[in-house]
Amino acid sequence: MSETLRDMPVIFFMMDGVRPDAIDAADTPTLDGMRQRGAYTAMAQSVMPSITLPCHMSIFKSVPPSRHGILQNEYMPLARPVMGLIEHLHNNGIDSAMYYNWDYLRDVVQPGHLYRNFYSNTSLDPEGDVPTVEAACEGISKNDAKFSFVYLGTTDTMGHAAGWMSDMYLRQIEKIDGLIAQVLHAAPANSRVLIHSDHGGHERTHGTDMPEDMNIPWMLAGPGIKEGHAIGRDVSLLDTAPTIASLFGLEPHQQWEGSPVTEAYVDGGMA
């Protein structure tokens, strides 16, 4: 194969607050297709507290909140810094882009490491993932930054407004299913695609260690990934950064505590 792993894009979609059983209850052809042509678990685990910014710090730094110290939706510089995914990729010559609509996520990466950054303050608007996706379609189709993070925040907003597993919450998941399809259509054909959520939810909240808050869907598909594979190992938010690094052929950073989900790879380990 003339093409190297680092030339093949990786697109990571975050569906904020989406429960695995909600994907079953909603009409989601894109996510269903991902599961059929990729590797999937409905039993991946969030971290405590199961709150958006603590979860994202654990995703991008591969350590639990007890290590990174971000315990609420408010960023504080880390007393003992941990290498982030985007910094690790940057230090290995791989460019990254972020597309998001919740401002606090700007702190998942230190200044000076992003190739492209798109933010719109629209996560509270039910149509607020549209500008994010339009920017992602335009940026990803250029195929310059090889890692793209696409954050879809409206599903969490609808969970808080109408209740987790309510009709309006399920319809919002169907909406982002269509938006994800738009990005996949614009993406290069050799893209590897990771989709998961940060936490679930119950009633109109989340943050506890209840299974409704902690169980999350985690799915990976694309060249080199097993098709229709049910992931048997334990997967947590800490495993995402090591997995994305390994998809580019990189070792995890030594500070990271998660491990790449190589069980999902056709050859059992591409790194």
Name the one range near Zn ion by CB under 5 A: 37-45, 56-64, 65-73, 154-162.
154-162
**Binding-site size, Zn ion (CB under 5 A):** 1
Q: Tell which one of 87, 107, 129, 156 touches Zn ion (CB under 5 A).
A: 156
Name the one range near Zn ion by CB under 5 A: 32-40, 83-91, 136-144, 148-156.
148-156
Task: Indicate the residue among 45 and 246 with the shorter CB distance to Zn ion.
Answer: 45
**Closest CB to Zn ion belongs to which residue?**
156
By the rule CB under 5 A, 177 interacts with Zn ion:
no
Task: Indicate the residue among 104 and 249 with the shorter CB distance to Zn ion.
Answer: 104
Task: Indicate the residue among 124 and 271 with the shorter CB distance to Zn ion.
Answer: 124
Task: Indicate the residue among 156 and 239 with the shorter CB distance to Zn ion.
Answer: 156
Task: Indicate the residue among 18 and 195 with the shorter CB distance to Zn ion.
Answer: 18
Task: Indicate the residue among 49 and 222 with the shorter CB distance to Zn ion.
Answer: 49
Which distant-in-sequence residues (6+ apart) come within 8 Å of 211 by Cβ?
Answer: 200
As a whole number of angstroms, the distance between CA 23 and CA 247 comes to: 25
3-state secondary structure at position 203 = coil
Minimum Å distance from CB 87 to Zn ion? 26
What stretches of the chain show up as alpha helix (H) in DSSP?
A: 20-25, 29-36, 52-61, 65-68, 85-91, 130-142, 154-162, 167-186, 211-214, 240-247
3-state secondary structure at position 266 = coil
Name the one range near Zn ion by CB under 5 A: 62-70, 118-126, 153-161, 187-195.
153-161
Minimum Å distance from CB 226 to Zn ion? 32
User: HEC string of 13-48?
Assistant: EEECCCCHHHHHHCCCHHHHHHHHCEEEEEEEECCC
What dihedral do alpha carbons 65, 66, 67, 71 form, nearest 10°?
A: 40
Minimum Å distance from CB 204 to Zn ion? 9
Minimum Å distance from CB 65 to Zn ion? 16
In the chain, the amino acid numbered 153 is G
As a whole number of angstroms, the distance between CA 101 and CA 47 comes to: 22
- Binding positions for Zn ion, rule: CB under 5 A: 156
